[in-house]
Amino acid sequence: MEALVVRRLGDPTLAPGGEASPFSPVSGDHPVPELGSPTAVRVRVAATSLNFATFLQVQGKYQERPPLPFVPGSDYAGVVDAVGPGVRRFRPGDRVCALAAVGSFAEFIVADEKQLFTVPDECDLVAAGALPVAFGTSHLALVHRAQLKAGQVVLVLGAAGGVGASAVQIGKVCGAVVIAVARGIEKLQYLKSIGADHVIDSSKESIIESAKSFLKARGLKGVDVLYDPVGGKLTQDSLKLLNWGAHILVIGFASGDVPVIRANIALVKNWTIHGLYWGSYLMHRPSVLIDSLNELFSWLSKGLLTVQISHTYRLPEAHLAFAALRDRKAVGKVMIVMGSSAKSRL
């Protein structure tokens, strides 16, 4: 089978097989994974999502460092190819999605049946492959951790990326007022199209001044929930907009700068700071994660959510996908789609 194999840590934007590339050449001779237990399920991958965590992992900069060599990739969707004798929930031909620690940048992957979720017939498999990490992160953060309520104000940083755009949509499903921050007119137009109440171009405008002007016009005091996958100066500026009793959702540090939130200010203003690592719920609170994904698929089926696919690439073009993520060209999700019919788009 085809698979993208990380042979050494390095720059994932370099084409597979090159001397400096972290990837071995993509070929069809990688072994198909075997069913290793009675409850194992082998899935033929239709599409797999590229997340910022994978970008970091290939470079050795992520908190989880799998031993070399490894096949990268996390959330994916596909069709069941084979099942172990103890599997009760699935059979060949069923449409499923899941999250893996590694391994989804390949034609086949094996998972335990309890790790798989059924994809409703009305949901596209490429969209389903984009949903678990991005929308799952935002749903757990906003609904489960911050307990977002109708009428509250959410400030979303990095709003045009995969997790950011999902946070904008989930915020609107919950009835919140959403302020979305991104860079560039195309991204701002997209954010308006998915329901953002106010958009801010952080490359041209002051977040503080623009947000305060909008809040004043709406008769609102400040921000109740900060959704932050960016970090750095954007975080520091955003803290000046928070209400007493606000929730701060620490999602990631795409800027490369981990911000400092002073504990004495959090104390005085009664802020709650939440660290949110979605994947760890599989180990510590799987029932919460299962309920979250089930609600997301229900919302997707009802048309309450849309999954914006910004770029799609074939497996041998994965380095171009990483480059699109690095260069912040994506408006929505970057996907690897299996099969010769997949077309890349910039």
Do you find a cis peptide bond into 69, omega within 30 degrees of 0? yes
DSSP 11: -
What pLDDT was estimated at residue 7?
95
18: how many CB neighbours lie within 10 A of its CB?
13
* Per-residue confidence (pLDDT) for residue 286, from 0 to 100: 87
Per-residue model confidence (pLDDT) at position 328: 81
Distance (Å, whole) CA 118 – CA 98 = 9
At residue 46, φ and ψ (nearest 5 deg) are: -95, -40
CB neighbours of residue 270 within 10 Å = 10
Q: Alpha carbon of 249 to those of 30, 78, 144, 152, 187: distances in Å?
A: 40, 31, 11, 15, 22
293 contacts 132 by C-beta, under 8 angstroms = yes
Distance between CA 40 and CA 22 in Å, rounded? 30
**What per-residue confidence (pLDDT) applies to 332?**
81
pLDDT in tens, the chain (346 residues): 999 999 999 999 999 988 899 999 998 899 999 999 999 999 999 999 998 889 999 999 988 899 999 999 999 999 999 999 999 999 999 999 998 989 999 999 999 999 899 998 888 899 999 999 999 999 999 999 999 999 999 999 999 988 999 999 999 999 999 999 999 999 999 999 999 999 999 999 999 999 999 999 999 999 999 999 999 999 999 999 999 999 999 999 988 899 999 999 999 999 999 999 988 888 899 899 989 999 999 999 899 999 989 899 999 999 999 999 888 878 888 999 997 444 433 3
Pairwise CA distance, residues 321 & 50, whole Å: 8
CA distance 151 to 323: 38
Quote the CA–CA distance of 316 and 5 in Å, as a whole number. 11
User: What is residue 188's predicted lDDT score, i.e. its pLDDT?
Assistant: 96
Backbone angles phi, psi at 92, to 5 degrees: -55, 135
Interatomic CA distance for residues 9 and 17, integer angstroms = 13
